[in-house]
Structure 1
Amino acid sequence: MYSGQLRKMSVAAKPNGVAQYTLQLGNDKLNINEFIGKGVTLKYTGEIHCVHCQAKTNKSFNQGYCYRCLITLARCDSCIIKPELCHYHEGTCREPEWGQENCFAPHFIYLANTGNLKVGITRHVTSGVSSRWIDQGATQAIALLQVNDRLTSGKVEMICKQHVADKTNWRTMLKGEPERIDMHHARRELLEKISTELSLLSHDHSAFDYVPLETDAIEISFPVQQYPAKIKSINLDKTATFEGELKGIKGQYWLLTDDRVINFRKFAGYQVELEVDN
Protein backbone atom coordinates (compact mmCIF):
# COMPACT_ATOMS: atom_id res chain seq x y z
CA MET A 1 0.00 0.00 0.00
CA TYR A 2 1.34 3.42 -0.99
CA SER A 3 -0.14 6.81 -0.09
CA GLY A 4 0.55 10.44 -0.80
CA GLN A 5 -0.18 13.38 -3.05
CA LEU A 6 -0.68 12.73 -6.75
CA ARG A 7 1.67 14.56 -9.10
CA LYS A 8 2.38 14.37 -12.77
CA MET A 9 4.40 11.24 -13.42
CA SER A 10 8.09 11.87 -14.04
CA VAL A 11 9.14 10.66 -17.47
CA ALA A 12 12.33 9.74 -19.25
CA ALA A 13 13.40 7.98 -22.43
CA LYS A 14 16.46 7.53 -24.55
CA PRO A 15 16.15 8.37 -28.26
CA ASN A 16 14.23 5.59 -30.00
CA GLY A 17 13.57 4.00 -26.61
CA VAL A 18 10.63 3.12 -24.36
CA ALA A 19 9.12 5.82 -22.15
CA GLN A 20 9.87 5.24 -18.47
CA TYR A 21 7.41 6.43 -15.83
CA THR A 22 8.02 7.20 -12.15
CA LEU A 23 5.36 8.24 -9.63
CA GLN A 24 6.30 9.80 -6.30
CA LEU A 25 3.78 8.94 -3.57
CA GLY A 26 4.86 10.08 -0.12
CA ASN A 27 8.38 8.75 0.43
CA ASP A 28 8.02 6.08 -2.23
CA LYS A 29 9.32 6.53 -5.77
CA LEU A 30 7.44 3.98 -7.87
CA ASN A 31 8.52 2.54 -11.21
CA ILE A 32 5.10 2.41 -12.86
CA ASN A 33 6.34 0.43 -15.88
CA GLU A 34 6.76 -2.51 -13.51
CA PHE A 35 3.05 -2.37 -12.59
CA ILE A 36 1.81 -3.09 -16.11
CA GLY A 37 -0.09 -6.37 -16.19
CA LYS A 38 -0.80 -6.18 -12.46
CA GLY A 39 -4.00 -5.35 -10.61
CA VAL A 40 -4.13 -1.85 -9.10
CA THR A 41 -6.58 -0.18 -6.71
CA LEU A 42 -6.51 3.59 -6.26
CA LYS A 43 -8.60 5.47 -3.68
CA TYR A 44 -9.00 9.24 -3.46
CA THR A 45 -9.21 10.12 0.25
CA GLY A 46 -11.22 13.32 -0.28
CA GLU A 47 -8.42 15.82 0.43
CA ILE A 48 -6.66 18.11 -2.03
CA HIS A 49 -3.50 20.08 -1.23
CA CYS A 50 -1.94 22.70 -3.48
CA VAL A 51 1.13 21.33 -5.27
CA HIS A 52 2.97 24.61 -4.58
CA CYS A 53 2.09 25.88 -1.11
CA GLN A 54 0.50 22.65 0.21
CA ALA A 55 -2.55 24.53 1.53
CA LYS A 56 -5.70 22.41 1.76
CA THR A 57 -8.17 23.41 -0.92
CA ASN A 58 -11.68 22.36 -1.90
CA LYS A 59 -10.87 22.66 -5.58
CA SER A 60 -7.78 22.22 -7.70
CA PHE A 61 -6.99 24.78 -10.40
CA ASN A 62 -4.65 24.54 -13.37
CA GLN A 63 -3.62 20.96 -12.56
CA GLY A 64 -2.95 21.16 -8.87
CA TYR A 65 -2.91 24.75 -7.57
CA CYS A 66 -5.09 26.46 -4.99
CA TYR A 67 -6.88 29.65 -6.04
CA ARG A 68 -4.39 31.95 -4.29
CA CYS A 69 -1.47 30.39 -6.16
CA LEU A 70 -3.48 30.44 -9.39
CA ILE A 71 -3.73 34.23 -9.30
CA THR A 72 -0.27 35.01 -7.89
CA LEU A 73 2.23 32.60 -9.49
CA ALA A 74 3.83 33.41 -12.83
CA ARG A 75 3.68 29.73 -13.80
CA CYS A 76 -0.13 29.95 -13.61
CA ASP A 77 -0.45 33.08 -15.76
CA SER A 78 -2.17 32.91 -19.14
CA CYS A 79 1.15 33.53 -20.93
CA ILE A 80 2.29 30.05 -19.92
CA ILE A 81 -0.44 28.59 -22.14
CA LYS A 82 -0.04 31.36 -24.73
CA PRO A 83 3.65 32.38 -24.71
CA GLU A 84 3.03 35.00 -27.39
CA LEU A 85 1.27 36.97 -24.60
CA CYS A 86 4.42 37.18 -22.44
CA HIS A 87 4.37 40.60 -20.75
CA TYR A 88 7.69 40.55 -18.89
CA HIS A 89 8.96 43.47 -21.01
CA GLU A 90 6.02 45.52 -19.73
CA GLY A 91 7.21 45.10 -16.13
CA THR A 92 4.08 43.21 -15.10
CA CYS A 93 5.45 39.69 -14.59
CA ARG A 94 4.06 38.21 -11.37
CA GLU A 95 7.47 36.77 -10.41
CA PRO A 96 10.30 38.52 -12.29
CA GLU A 97 13.01 36.19 -10.94
CA TRP A 98 11.02 33.12 -11.99
CA GLY A 99 10.43 34.74 -15.37
CA GLN A 100 14.14 35.42 -15.85
CA GLU A 101 15.01 31.81 -15.07
CA ASN A 102 12.26 30.13 -17.09
CA CYS A 103 11.33 32.50 -19.91
CA PHE A 104 14.73 33.87 -20.90
CA ALA A 105 16.32 30.55 -21.77
CA PRO A 106 16.59 28.88 -25.18
CA HIS A 107 13.31 27.41 -26.40
CA PHE A 108 12.76 24.89 -29.16
CA ILE A 109 9.89 24.77 -31.64
CA TYR A 110 9.15 21.17 -32.60
CA LEU A 111 6.87 18.92 -34.61
CA ALA A 112 5.38 15.80 -33.05
CA ASN A 113 3.18 12.90 -34.08
CA THR A 114 0.55 12.40 -31.38
CA GLY A 115 -1.97 10.78 -33.71
CA ASN A 116 -1.79 13.81 -35.96
CA LEU A 117 1.05 16.20 -36.75
CA LYS A 118 1.28 19.06 -34.25
CA VAL A 119 3.60 21.94 -33.47
CA GLY A 120 4.72 22.90 -29.99
CA ILE A 121 7.46 24.49 -27.90
CA THR A 122 9.71 23.11 -25.18
CA ARG A 123 12.63 24.37 -23.10
CA HIS A 124 14.43 21.07 -22.67
CA VAL A 125 15.59 18.42 -25.09
CA THR A 126 17.66 16.31 -22.70
CA SER A 127 19.68 13.59 -24.46
CA GLY A 128 17.66 14.33 -27.57
CA VAL A 129 14.25 13.70 -25.98
CA SER A 130 11.92 16.30 -24.45
CA SER A 131 9.76 15.18 -21.53
CA ARG A 132 7.00 17.23 -23.16
CA TRP A 133 6.93 14.82 -26.10
CA ILE A 134 6.38 11.89 -23.74
CA ASP A 135 3.71 13.79 -21.76
CA GLN A 136 1.83 14.38 -25.01
CA GLY A 137 2.07 10.74 -26.09
CA ALA A 138 4.18 11.53 -29.17
CA THR A 139 5.55 8.49 -30.98
CA GLN A 140 7.69 10.70 -33.23
CA ALA A 141 9.17 14.17 -32.79
CA ILE A 142 11.69 16.46 -34.41
CA ALA A 143 13.10 19.86 -33.43
CA LEU A 144 12.42 22.63 -35.91
CA LEU A 145 14.01 25.86 -34.66
CA GLN A 146 15.81 27.20 -31.61
CA VAL A 147 15.09 30.71 -30.34
CA ASN A 148 16.38 32.79 -27.43
CA ASP A 149 13.31 33.18 -25.23
CA ARG A 150 9.73 32.15 -24.58
CA LEU A 151 8.08 35.20 -26.17
CA THR A 152 9.90 34.58 -29.44
CA SER A 153 8.94 30.90 -29.37
CA GLY A 154 5.31 31.93 -28.99
CA LYS A 155 5.49 34.26 -31.98
CA VAL A 156 7.05 31.53 -34.13
CA GLU A 157 4.50 28.99 -32.95
CA MET A 158 1.71 31.39 -33.98
CA ILE A 159 3.17 31.46 -37.49
CA CYS A 160 3.43 27.66 -37.57
CA LYS A 161 -0.17 27.27 -36.38
CA GLN A 162 -1.36 28.70 -39.67
CA HIS A 163 -0.18 25.45 -41.27
CA VAL A 164 -0.06 22.81 -38.51
CA ALA A 165 -2.34 22.14 -35.52
CA ASP A 166 -1.00 22.92 -32.04
CA LYS A 167 -3.32 20.66 -30.03
CA THR A 168 -3.13 17.00 -29.08
CA ASN A 169 -6.39 15.10 -29.45
CA TRP A 170 -6.02 12.88 -26.38
CA ARG A 171 -8.68 10.44 -27.54
CA THR A 172 -6.92 9.92 -30.86
CA MET A 173 -3.61 9.59 -29.01
CA LEU A 174 -5.01 6.77 -26.83
CA LYS A 175 -6.64 4.78 -29.63
CA GLY A 176 -3.43 3.05 -30.66
CA GLU A 177 -0.24 3.45 -32.62
CA PRO A 178 -0.59 6.28 -35.17
CA GLU A 179 0.49 6.09 -38.77
CA ARG A 180 4.13 6.97 -39.20
CA ILE A 181 5.05 10.39 -40.59
CA ASP A 182 8.20 11.33 -42.49
CA MET A 183 9.25 13.89 -39.89
CA HIS A 184 12.24 15.21 -41.88
CA HIS A 185 9.97 15.89 -44.84
CA ALA A 186 7.39 17.53 -42.56
CA ARG A 187 10.08 19.81 -41.11
CA ARG A 188 11.37 20.85 -44.53
CA GLU A 189 7.85 21.47 -45.78
CA LEU A 190 6.87 23.62 -42.79
CA LEU A 191 10.11 25.64 -42.91
CA GLU A 192 9.39 26.42 -46.55
CA LYS A 193 5.84 27.51 -45.74
CA ILE A 194 6.86 29.85 -42.92
CA SER A 195 10.04 31.29 -44.48
CA THR A 196 8.33 34.51 -45.61
CA GLU A 197 6.64 35.07 -42.22
CA LEU A 198 9.94 34.45 -40.41
CA SER A 199 11.66 37.04 -42.61
CA LEU A 200 8.91 39.58 -41.87
CA LEU A 201 9.15 38.88 -38.15
CA SER A 202 12.91 39.33 -38.30
CA HIS A 203 12.46 42.63 -40.15
CA ASP A 204 9.89 43.96 -37.65
CA HIS A 205 11.81 42.92 -34.52
CA SER A 206 15.53 43.65 -34.60
CA ALA A 207 16.15 41.39 -31.58
CA PHE A 208 14.44 38.42 -33.26
CA ASP A 209 16.84 35.58 -33.92
CA TYR A 210 16.39 31.90 -34.68
CA VAL A 211 18.49 28.88 -35.59
CA PRO A 212 17.10 26.26 -38.01
CA LEU A 213 17.92 22.79 -36.68
CA GLU A 214 18.95 19.66 -38.52
CA THR A 215 18.69 17.18 -35.66
CA ASP A 216 17.48 13.63 -36.24
CA ALA A 217 13.86 12.65 -35.76
CA ILE A 218 13.16 10.87 -32.48
CA GLU A 219 10.91 7.84 -32.04
CA ILE A 220 9.37 6.97 -28.67
CA SER A 221 7.64 3.74 -27.69
CA PHE A 222 5.14 3.48 -24.86
CA PRO A 223 4.64 0.58 -22.45
CA VAL A 224 1.18 -0.51 -23.59
CA GLN A 225 -0.14 -4.09 -23.67
CA GLN A 226 -3.60 -3.16 -24.89
CA TYR A 227 -5.27 0.05 -26.10
CA PRO A 228 -8.91 0.83 -25.22
CA ALA A 229 -11.53 0.08 -27.87
CA LYS A 230 -13.93 2.71 -26.51
CA ILE A 231 -12.44 5.20 -24.09
CA LYS A 232 -14.11 5.71 -20.70
CA SER A 233 -12.47 8.47 -18.67
CA ILE A 234 -12.23 8.12 -14.86
CA ASN A 235 -13.01 11.25 -12.82
CA LEU A 236 -11.86 10.99 -9.19
CA ASP A 237 -14.38 13.65 -8.15
CA LYS A 238 -17.16 11.28 -9.22
CA THR A 239 -15.48 7.89 -8.77
CA ALA A 240 -13.28 8.08 -5.70
CA THR A 241 -12.07 4.47 -5.99
CA PHE A 242 -11.23 2.37 -9.01
CA GLU A 243 -9.51 -0.95 -9.55
CA GLY A 244 -8.46 -3.07 -12.49
CA GLU A 245 -5.47 -4.37 -14.39
CA LEU A 246 -3.04 -1.75 -15.64
CA LYS A 247 -2.79 -2.37 -19.38
CA GLY A 248 -0.41 0.43 -20.26
CA ILE A 249 0.75 4.03 -19.94
CA LYS A 250 0.81 6.69 -22.63
CA GLY A 251 1.18 10.43 -22.21
CA GLN A 252 0.10 11.01 -18.61
CA TYR A 253 -2.66 8.40 -18.84
CA TRP A 254 -3.06 5.00 -17.23
CA LEU A 255 -4.89 2.51 -19.46
CA LEU A 256 -6.97 0.00 -17.50
CA THR A 257 -9.28 -2.93 -18.10
CA ASP A 258 -12.77 -2.26 -19.47
CA ASP A 259 -11.45 0.58 -21.68
CA ARG A 260 -11.03 2.93 -18.70
CA VAL A 261 -8.35 5.63 -18.65
CA ILE A 262 -7.27 8.23 -16.11
CA ASN A 263 -5.22 11.37 -16.67
CA PHE A 264 -2.87 11.61 -13.68
CA ARG A 265 -1.86 15.17 -14.44
CA LYS A 266 -5.47 16.35 -14.12
CA PHE A 267 -5.63 15.21 -10.49
CA ALA A 268 -2.34 16.62 -9.21
CA GLY A 269 -2.66 17.53 -5.53
CA TYR A 270 -5.24 14.84 -4.74
CA GLN A 271 -4.41 12.66 -1.74
CA VAL A 272 -4.64 9.00 -2.69
CA GLU A 273 -3.91 5.47 -1.55
CA LEU A 274 -2.56 2.98 -4.08
CA GLU A 275 -2.45 -0.78 -3.74
CA VAL A 276 -0.69 -3.02 -6.28
CA ASP A 277 -1.12 -6.79 -6.53
CA ASN A 278 1.99 -8.93 -6.30
Structure 2
Amino acid sequence: MIGNLRKMRTAVNEQGAVSYQLQLNDETVPLAPYIGQSVSLRFSGAIRCIGCSRPTKKSFSQGYCFSCFKKLAACDSCIMSPEKCHYHLGTCREPEWAEQYCMQSHYVYLANSSGLKVGITRGDQLPTRWLDQGATQARAMFIVPNRRLSGLVETIFKDVVADKTNWRTMLKGPSELIDLEAEQERLIGQVWQQLDGLQYEFGIQAITEVEYGQTHQFDYPVLSYPTKVVSLNAEKQPEISGTLLGIKGQYWILDTGVINLRKYTGYEVEFTA
Protein backbone atom coordinates (compact mmCIF):
# COMPACT_ATOMS: atom_id res chain seq x y z
CA MET A 1 0.00 0.00 0.00
CA ILE A 2 1.43 3.38 -1.08
CA GLY A 3 0.28 6.87 -0.23
CA ASN A 4 1.03 10.09 1.63
CA LEU A 5 1.02 9.77 5.41
CA ARG A 6 -1.58 11.41 7.58
CA LYS A 7 -1.83 11.38 11.35
CA MET A 8 -2.89 7.93 12.56
CA ARG A 9 -6.55 7.66 13.43
CA THR A 10 -7.34 6.59 16.97
CA ALA A 11 -10.30 5.06 18.77
CA VAL A 12 -10.92 3.90 22.33
CA ASN A 13 -13.52 1.47 23.63
CA GLU A 14 -15.47 1.59 26.90
CA GLN A 15 -12.71 -0.34 28.68
CA GLY A 16 -10.11 2.26 27.64
CA ALA A 17 -8.34 0.07 25.07
CA VAL A 18 -6.85 2.21 22.30
CA SER A 19 -6.76 1.12 18.65
CA TYR A 20 -5.04 2.68 15.65
CA GLN A 21 -5.43 2.97 11.91
CA LEU A 22 -2.62 3.89 9.55
CA GLN A 23 -3.84 6.52 7.09
CA LEU A 24 -2.29 6.88 3.62
CA ASN A 25 -4.17 9.53 1.61
CA ASP A 26 -7.83 8.55 2.08
CA GLU A 27 -7.17 4.85 2.74
CA THR A 28 -6.86 3.40 6.22
CA VAL A 29 -5.33 0.18 7.53
CA PRO A 30 -6.27 -1.20 10.98
CA LEU A 31 -2.97 -1.84 12.75
CA ALA A 32 -4.07 -4.24 15.49
CA PRO A 33 -3.40 -7.34 13.32
CA TYR A 34 0.22 -6.24 12.80
CA ILE A 35 1.22 -5.89 16.45
CA GLY A 36 3.95 -8.49 16.95
CA GLN A 37 4.50 -8.83 13.19
CA SER A 38 7.29 -7.69 10.89
CA VAL A 39 6.43 -4.40 9.17
CA SER A 40 8.15 -1.96 6.86
CA LEU A 41 7.76 1.69 5.88
CA ARG A 42 9.67 2.69 2.74
CA PHE A 43 9.88 6.46 2.25
CA SER A 44 10.26 7.52 -1.40
CA GLY A 45 11.55 11.00 -0.57
CA ALA A 46 8.50 12.68 -2.13
CA ILE A 47 6.48 15.09 0.05
CA ARG A 48 3.09 16.59 -0.76
CA CYS A 49 1.79 19.56 1.23
CA ILE A 50 -1.29 18.68 3.30
CA GLY A 51 -2.58 22.22 2.77
CA CYS A 52 -2.42 22.78 -0.99
CA SER A 53 -1.41 19.25 -2.14
CA ARG A 54 1.54 20.57 -4.14
CA PRO A 55 4.91 18.78 -4.06
CA THR A 56 7.43 20.31 -1.67
CA LYS A 57 11.09 19.59 -1.03
CA LYS A 58 10.78 20.24 2.69
CA SER A 59 7.99 19.87 5.22
CA PHE A 60 7.13 22.66 7.67
CA SER A 61 4.90 22.42 10.75
CA GLN A 62 4.23 18.69 10.24
CA GLY A 63 3.22 18.53 6.61
CA TYR A 64 3.00 21.98 4.99
CA CYS A 65 4.97 23.61 2.18
CA PHE A 66 6.71 26.90 2.96
CA SER A 67 4.02 28.99 1.23
CA CYS A 68 1.22 27.44 3.31
CA PHE A 69 3.38 27.62 6.43
CA LYS A 70 3.65 31.40 5.99
CA LYS A 71 0.01 32.14 5.14
CA LEU A 72 -2.26 29.60 6.84
CA ALA A 73 -3.73 30.27 10.27
CA ALA A 74 -3.13 26.60 11.13
CA CYS A 75 0.61 27.34 10.98
CA ASP A 76 0.63 30.62 12.90
CA SER A 77 2.61 30.91 16.15
CA CYS A 78 -0.61 31.09 18.17
CA ILE A 79 -1.31 27.44 17.37
CA MET A 80 1.62 26.46 19.59
CA SER A 81 1.00 29.36 21.99
CA PRO A 82 -2.80 29.83 22.09
CA GLU A 83 -2.55 32.70 24.55
CA LYS A 84 -1.06 34.69 21.65
CA CYS A 85 -4.23 34.35 19.55
CA HIS A 86 -4.82 37.69 17.80
CA TYR A 87 -8.24 37.09 16.26
CA HIS A 88 -9.74 39.72 18.59
CA LEU A 89 -7.27 42.27 17.20
CA GLY A 90 -8.51 41.72 13.65
CA THR A 91 -5.13 40.42 12.44
CA CYS A 92 -5.90 36.70 12.06
CA ARG A 93 -4.50 35.16 8.87
CA GLU A 94 -7.81 33.40 8.13
CA PRO A 95 -10.74 34.74 10.18
CA GLU A 96 -13.21 32.20 8.75
CA TRP A 97 -10.88 29.33 9.70
CA ALA A 98 -10.48 30.78 13.19
CA GLU A 99 -14.24 31.03 13.63
CA GLN A 100 -14.49 27.31 12.95
CA TYR A 101 -11.50 26.10 14.96
CA CYS A 102 -10.53 28.76 17.50
CA MET A 103 -13.73 30.60 18.36
CA GLN A 104 -15.40 27.53 19.83
CA SER A 105 -15.35 25.88 23.23
CA HIS A 106 -12.02 24.54 24.48
CA TYR A 107 -11.09 22.39 27.46
CA VAL A 108 -8.23 22.90 29.87
CA TYR A 109 -7.22 19.47 31.15
CA LEU A 110 -4.79 17.50 33.25
CA ALA A 111 -3.12 14.44 31.76
CA ASN A 112 -0.64 11.81 32.85
CA SER A 113 1.62 10.95 29.92
CA SER A 114 5.24 11.16 31.06
CA GLY A 115 3.95 12.54 34.35
CA LEU A 116 1.43 15.19 35.32
CA LYS A 117 0.85 17.94 32.76
CA VAL A 118 -1.67 20.60 31.82
CA GLY A 119 -3.00 21.06 28.29
CA ILE A 120 -5.76 22.54 26.16
CA THR A 121 -7.81 21.25 23.25
CA ARG A 122 -10.99 21.95 21.31
CA GLY A 123 -14.16 20.49 22.69
CA ASP A 124 -14.52 18.12 19.72
CA GLN A 125 -10.96 16.77 20.08
CA LEU A 126 -11.46 14.67 23.20
CA PRO A 127 -10.25 12.01 23.70
CA THR A 128 -8.20 12.23 20.46
CA ARG A 129 -5.84 14.84 21.89
CA TRP A 130 -5.11 12.69 24.93
CA LEU A 131 -4.45 9.60 22.82
CA ASP A 132 -2.11 11.50 20.48
CA GLN A 133 -0.03 12.47 23.52
CA GLY A 134 0.11 8.91 24.82
CA ALA A 135 -1.70 9.83 28.04
CA THR A 136 -2.55 6.92 30.32
CA GLN A 137 -4.90 9.15 32.35
CA ALA A 138 -6.68 12.41 31.60
CA ARG A 139 -9.28 14.67 33.12
CA ALA A 140 -11.00 17.83 31.83
CA MET A 141 -10.88 20.69 34.39
CA PHE A 142 -12.40 23.75 32.75
CA ILE A 143 -14.40 24.66 29.67
CA VAL A 144 -13.93 28.10 28.10
CA PRO A 145 -15.49 29.75 25.02
CA ASN A 146 -12.41 30.12 22.80
CA ARG A 147 -8.82 29.10 22.20
CA ARG A 148 -7.20 32.30 23.44
CA LEU A 149 -8.84 32.07 26.85
CA SER A 150 -7.87 28.40 27.15
CA GLY A 151 -4.27 29.46 26.53
CA LEU A 152 -4.45 32.15 29.18
CA VAL A 153 -5.78 29.64 31.72
CA GLU A 154 -3.10 27.12 30.72
CA THR A 155 -0.41 29.77 31.15
CA ILE A 156 -1.49 30.28 34.76
CA PHE A 157 -1.14 26.56 35.48
CA LYS A 158 2.24 26.33 33.70
CA ASP A 159 3.76 28.10 36.69
CA VAL A 160 2.92 25.13 38.93
CA VAL A 161 2.82 22.08 36.61
CA ALA A 162 4.48 20.92 33.38
CA ASP A 163 2.80 21.64 30.04
CA LYS A 164 4.79 19.28 27.84
CA THR A 165 5.18 15.51 27.48
CA ASN A 166 8.65 13.98 27.70
CA TRP A 167 8.20 11.62 24.74
CA ARG A 168 11.15 9.43 25.67
CA THR A 169 9.76 8.83 29.16
CA MET A 170 6.27 8.28 27.71
CA LEU A 171 7.61 5.52 25.44
CA LYS A 172 9.36 3.63 28.23
CA GLY A 173 6.13 2.42 29.77
CA PRO A 174 2.82 3.44 31.32
CA SER A 175 3.08 6.23 33.86
CA GLU A 176 2.46 5.50 37.51
CA LEU A 177 -1.20 6.22 38.25
CA ILE A 178 -2.00 9.65 39.72
CA ASP A 179 -5.11 10.84 41.56
CA LEU A 180 -5.96 13.54 39.01
CA GLU A 181 -8.97 14.78 40.95
CA ALA A 182 -6.80 15.45 43.99
CA GLU A 183 -4.12 17.07 41.80
CA GLN A 184 -6.75 19.31 40.24
CA GLU A 185 -7.87 20.55 43.65
CA ARG A 186 -4.26 21.06 44.75
CA LEU A 187 -3.30 23.04 41.67
CA ILE A 188 -6.42 25.20 41.67
CA GLY A 189 -5.62 26.02 45.29
CA GLN A 190 -2.29 27.43 44.13
CA VAL A 191 -3.59 29.57 41.25
CA TRP A 192 -7.12 30.59 42.29
CA GLN A 193 -6.21 34.26 42.56
CA GLN A 194 -4.99 34.35 38.95
CA LEU A 195 -8.11 32.47 37.82
CA ASP A 196 -10.26 35.02 39.63
CA GLY A 197 -8.39 37.74 37.75
CA LEU A 198 -9.28 36.18 34.39
CA GLN A 199 -12.90 35.77 35.43
CA TYR A 200 -12.99 39.43 36.45
CA GLU A 201 -11.63 40.37 33.01
CA PHE A 202 -13.67 38.02 30.82
CA GLY A 203 -16.75 37.34 32.95
CA ILE A 204 -17.61 34.88 35.71
CA GLN A 205 -19.12 32.39 33.22
CA ALA A 206 -16.15 32.51 30.84
CA ILE A 207 -14.21 29.92 32.85
CA THR A 208 -16.43 27.09 33.99
CA GLU A 209 -15.18 24.15 36.04
CA VAL A 210 -16.32 20.87 34.50
CA GLU A 211 -19.06 19.47 36.71
CA TYR A 212 -18.92 15.81 37.63
CA GLY A 213 -15.54 15.53 35.93
CA GLN A 214 -14.30 12.04 35.19
CA THR A 215 -10.77 10.68 35.12
CA HIS A 216 -10.27 8.56 32.01
CA GLN A 217 -7.71 5.76 31.76
CA PHE A 218 -6.23 4.40 28.53
CA ASP A 219 -4.51 1.15 27.65
CA TYR A 220 -2.26 1.18 24.57
CA PRO A 221 -1.56 -1.78 22.27
CA VAL A 222 2.02 -2.43 23.38
CA LEU A 223 3.61 -5.87 23.79
CA SER A 224 6.80 -4.51 25.32
CA TYR A 225 8.37 -1.11 25.94
CA PRO A 226 12.01 -0.25 25.12
CA THR A 227 14.47 0.15 27.97
CA LYS A 228 16.43 2.55 25.77
CA VAL A 229 14.55 4.76 23.31
CA VAL A 230 16.28 4.91 19.91
CA SER A 231 14.68 7.40 17.51
CA LEU A 232 14.47 6.39 13.85
CA ASN A 233 14.83 9.14 11.23
CA ALA A 234 13.23 8.54 7.83
CA GLU A 235 15.31 11.34 6.30
CA LYS A 236 18.49 9.41 7.08
CA GLN A 237 17.03 5.89 6.87
CA PRO A 238 14.42 5.74 4.07
CA GLU A 239 13.34 2.20 4.93
CA ILE A 240 12.15 1.70 8.50
CA SER A 241 11.48 -1.93 9.34
CA GLY A 242 11.28 -4.31 12.27
CA THR A 243 8.84 -6.10 14.53
CA LEU A 244 6.01 -3.80 15.57
CA LEU A 245 6.01 -4.17 19.35
CA GLY A 246 3.35 -1.55 19.96
CA ILE A 247 1.89 1.89 19.30
CA LYS A 248 1.55 4.76 21.75
CA GLY A 249 0.76 8.38 21.01
CA GLN A 250 1.68 8.80 17.35
CA TYR A 251 4.75 6.57 17.74
CA TRP A 252 5.45 3.10 16.42
CA ILE A 253 7.55 1.05 18.83
CA LEU A 254 9.70 -1.38 16.82
CA ASP A 255 12.39 -3.76 17.98
CA THR A 256 14.77 -1.56 15.94
CA GLY A 257 13.70 1.78 17.47
CA VAL A 258 10.78 4.19 17.58
CA ILE A 259 9.38 6.49 14.90
CA ASN A 260 7.01 9.43 15.25
CA LEU A 261 4.70 9.04 12.25
CA ARG A 262 3.14 12.46 12.74
CA LYS A 263 6.51 14.05 12.06
CA TYR A 264 6.31 12.68 8.51
CA THR A 265 2.79 13.83 7.63
CA GLY A 266 2.62 14.39 3.87
CA TYR A 267 5.54 12.07 3.09
CA GLU A 268 4.96 9.39 0.47
CA VAL A 269 5.49 5.95 1.95
CA GLU A 270 4.95 2.31 1.07
CA PHE A 271 3.64 0.13 3.90
CA THR A 272 4.22 -3.61 3.81
CA ALA A 273 3.75 -6.30 6.42
Name the TM-score, length of structure 2 as normaliser: 0.96
Deviation for aligned residue 1:125:
5.4
* Separation of aligned partners in 2, 1:30 and 1:154: 35
Deviation for aligned residue 1:208:
6.8
Counterpart of 1:109 in structure 2: which amino acid?
Answer: V
Other-structure match for 1:227 = 225
Q: Deviations over 1:96-127 (max 9, x none)?
A: 0001111111100000000210000011357x
Q: Deviations over 1:220-262 (max 9, x none)?
A: 010000111111111111000121110000000000013x000
Counterpart of 2:265 in structure 1: which amino acid?
Answer: A
Name the TM-score, length of structure 1 as normaliser: 0.94
Q: SS where residue 9 of structure 1 aligns?
A: strand
Counterpart of 2:42 in structure 1: which amino acid?
Answer: K
Q: SS where residue 258 of structure 2 aligns?
A: strand
Runs of 5+ consecutive residues of structure 1 not aligned to the other structure: none
Q: SS where residue 45 of structure 2 aligns?
A: strand
Q: 2:172 aligns with which of 171, 175, 179?
A: 175
Counterpart of 1:202 in structure 2: which amino acid?
Answer: Q
Runs of 5+ consecutive residues of structure 2 not aligned to the other structure: none
Other-structure match for 2:17 = 18
Q: Quick check: 1:201–1:208 contact (8 Å CA) kept in 2? A: no
Other-structure match for 1:110 = 109
Deviation for aligned residue 1:25:
1.8
* Separation of aligned partners in 2, 1:87 and 1:47: 35
Deviation for aligned residue 1:26:
4.2
Other-structure match for 2:243 = 245
Deviation for aligned residue 1:27:
5.1
Deviation for aligned residue 1:94:
0.6
Other-structure match for 1:236 = 234
- Pair 1:3 & 2:2 matched: yes
Deviation for aligned residue 1:22:
1.1
Other-structure match for 1:184 = 181
Counterpart of 1:93 in structure 2: which amino acid?
Answer: C
Other-structure match for 1:134 = 131
Q: 2:265 aligns with which of 248, 263, 268?
A: 268
Q: SS where residue 231 of structure 1 aligns?
A: coil
Other-structure match for 1:85 = 84
Other-structure match for 1:123 = 122
* Separation of aligned partners in 2, 1:80 and 1:70: 12
The within-5 A match list for 1:249-260 is 249-258=247-256, 260=257
* Separation of aligned partners in 2, 1:27 and 1:131: 19
* Separation of aligned partners in 1, 2:216 and 2:93: 36
Counterpart of 1:247 in structure 2: which amino acid?
Answer: L
Q: Quick check: 1:15–1:218 contact (8 Å CA) kept in 2? A: no
C-alpha change, 1:148 and 1:262, in structure 2 (3 Å) is same
* Separation of aligned partners in 1, 2:11 and 2:23: 14
Q: SS where residue 161 of structure 2 aligns?
A: coil
Other-structure match for 1:144 = 141
Root mean square deviation of aligned Cα: 1.4
Counterpart of 1:70 in structure 2: which amino acid?
Answer: F
Q: How many aligned residue pairs are there?
A: 272
* Separation of aligned partners in 2, 1:41 and 1:102: 35
Q: Quick check: 2:106–2:123 contact (8 Å CA) kept in 1? A: yes
Aligned-residue sequence identity (percent) comes to 46
